[in-house]
Amino acid sequence: MEEYNIDDVSEKQIKFGVWYLGHIDKIKKVITIILIVFSAVTIGYGIFGFIYHYSVQSKLDQQLAQITATNIDFASFQARTKAENISFLEPEVIYSGNNSYDIFTKVVNPNERWLVKELTFQFVSGDYTSPTTTIYLLPQEERYLFDLAIQSPKRLSAVTINVMDIKWQRFKPAMEIPEVNFKTSKVDFFVSDNESRSWISFMVNNESINNFWEVTWQALLFSGRKVVGINQIRTEEFVSGQSREVIMSWFEKLPRVSTVEVYPVVDLLNPDITYNIPGKIDELY
């Protein structure tokens, strides 16, 4: 029989071995219980996570289905946000004698949030076609369109307006449009003794804060409610706070004039339409 040398085994190790052999069954039970509890917790957590995931996923699927089923009326939204068409009054012709005609109409931009960046048009009457003209229209702006001193051997009567191109731009409050505030007064109509010349004179005060390189003045002469004469003239270097007399003439016999209307036209989309005067106080702020 083989003998074992236990000289190197301490008394403490011998006691532990005796204790371990006496409690090995209990130790196995404790380890078994710990493993069972761990497995139960792990499996339970897994089952809970599985149930929670699929219950939440089911709700998400229902919400996605509702979103998909919701019909968004994009056509209606676009219809509400797109620009409305500009409108024109029917063009009118004024015969001023000697085969000379004037044509005018009014154009209106009804939109609050859209400006007409470019409107290119022509007047057409029979064989006559006016030069191509391009203007802009600010939101809700009304403007008269003139074609003056047309020479035509054929009588011009029915006139149409041919819109060749129109470019829209959404108007943003941050866009820097110069302020325009002209006050007109003392608008008077005069006729020479031989009626070969008629003219209007009026005072204009530039009450805006801007100096303008040029301003065009349009005038309409009314006999009752009928327009019997139109004209326009350009003034240059109109300084803020300045008062100026403007005179506009007609060299043909006109019907009786009862009312005069005057309108300023300024190219506000031109960034160079305003200017500063060196040394003025407004440059300090």
Q: Read off the pLDDT of residues 129-149 as tens digits, 9 standing for 90 and up.
A: 999 999 999 999 999 999 999
Domain 182-280 in CATH 1.10.1060? The answer is no
Contacts of 186 (CB under 8 A, 6+ apart): 201, 202, 203
4 is written with which tokens? Answer: 């074992």
C-beta of residue 141 within 8 angstroms of C-beta of residue 151: no
pTM of the model: 0.68
For 83-170, give the CATH class.
mainly beta
pLDDT in 10s for each residue of the chain, 285 residues: 455 555 566 777 777 667 767 777 777 777 888 888 877 778 877 776 667 666 666 676 676 666 655 555 545 544 556 889 999 999 999 998 889 999 999 999 999 999 999 999 999 998 899 999 999 999 999 999 999 999 988 888 889 999 999 999 998 877 788 999 999 999 999 999 888 899 999 999 999 999 999 999 999 999 999 999 999 999 999 999 999 999 999 998 899 999 999 999 999 999 899 999 876 545 433
249 backbone dihedrals φ, ψ, rounded to 5°: -120, 155
Say how far apart CA 208 and CA 268 lie, in whole Å: 13
According to DSSP, the residues that pair with 215 across neighbouring strands are: 235
The C-alpha angle 101, 104, 105, rounded to 5 degrees, equals 155
77 is written with which tokens? Answer: 């939204």
